[in-house]
Amino acid sequence: MRALPGALAIAGTLAAGVLLQAQDPKPAELRRVLERRLDAIAASLDGVLGYTIVDLTSAERIEHLPQAVFPTASTIKLAILYELFKQAEERTIDLGQIRPLDRRHDVEGGILHELATPSMSLRDYAVLMVVLSDNTATNLLIDTLGMDKVNARMRGLGLDQTRLRRRMIDLDAARRGDENVSTPGEIARLLQIVYRGEGLSTASRASMLEILAKDKVTPMRRGIPAGITVANKPGTLSGVAVDAGIVLLEDRPYIFAAMATYLEREEKGDAAITEASEAAFAYFSRLANASEYGRIIK
């Protein structure tokens, strides 16, 4: 049976309409607006800013210096937290085990330095490590888990540039060049692993996200409206500012990892990270809340 000419014309019009929608230039232009804004933030910083932003819906990435190695500051604690939960799953440690604080782990700064002889579970030490960035708690966990095992785990994940080389507040090690380091791309990849629960039980994934999402004031968080869950870990050193996390935006979650170094003042790096975080949120919230034509509906 031969198709009618009118039917062919209608089919051709519909096909052309579908093709036109598939080639809609507006989303790509919106992305370019974000890229230009991020480029301007990086260019105006008196220092060096690298970042990796991952759309967890489309897997698209927006990056600048994603493979450059930066000091991580306290953001290296993401790797320690991951290793903690992996060893708990492997039953080589017990997250609920109560450990008295050995003062050999003690360093200045943080709540544990101020307490007499605290005892708490390994999980509670992890909460202090993430939420208050307590370095004494971090050193206890490093010695419990083993620095070599943290690094071996990172290599097993393909994160070859993510290296825990020293305990917290070890200036002699830092002077020797034993800095804790990673790249924006690898930090983002580690966060993707956590978000997707790769190699993690459902319970471990949920517990890690719960700890990372506990309330804290950070440069990344300041760029995102209250009420949006952000599972992140910042870090600061002299001349260094870092913040990285998962933004659990409804309908459009994304990962944001920004690392700044060679800073004249750390607060300038923090301000650049906040501005970049604000720009990323504005982009993803519009993708989440707009119609295919760009009208904000939600």
CA distance 252 to 122: 33
In tens, the pLDDT along 270-286 reads 999 999 999 999 999 99
Phi, psi of 263 (to 5 degrees): -85, 140
pLDDT digits (tens, 9 = 90+) for 220-269: 999 999 999 999 999 999 999 999 999 999 999 999 999 999 999 999 99
- Which regions of 74-197 does DSSP assign to beta strands (E)? 98-100, 119-121, 181-182
Helix (H) or strand (E) holding 193: helix 184-196
| φ, ψ (nearest 5 deg) of residue 17 | -65, -40
pLDDT at 1: 47
Which structure tokens are listed for 289? 């809340």
* pLDDT at 253 (0 to 100): 98
Q: What is the pLDDT of residues 12-62, one digit of tens each?
A: 545 544 544 557 899 999 999 999 999 999 999 999 999 999 999 999 999
Q: Give all domains of the chain, ordered by start, each with its CATH number.
A: 31-289 (3.40.710.10)
Residue 214 has pLDDT above 80, yes or no: yes
Give, in degrees to the nearest 5, the angle at Cα 141 between 139 and 146.
Answer: 95
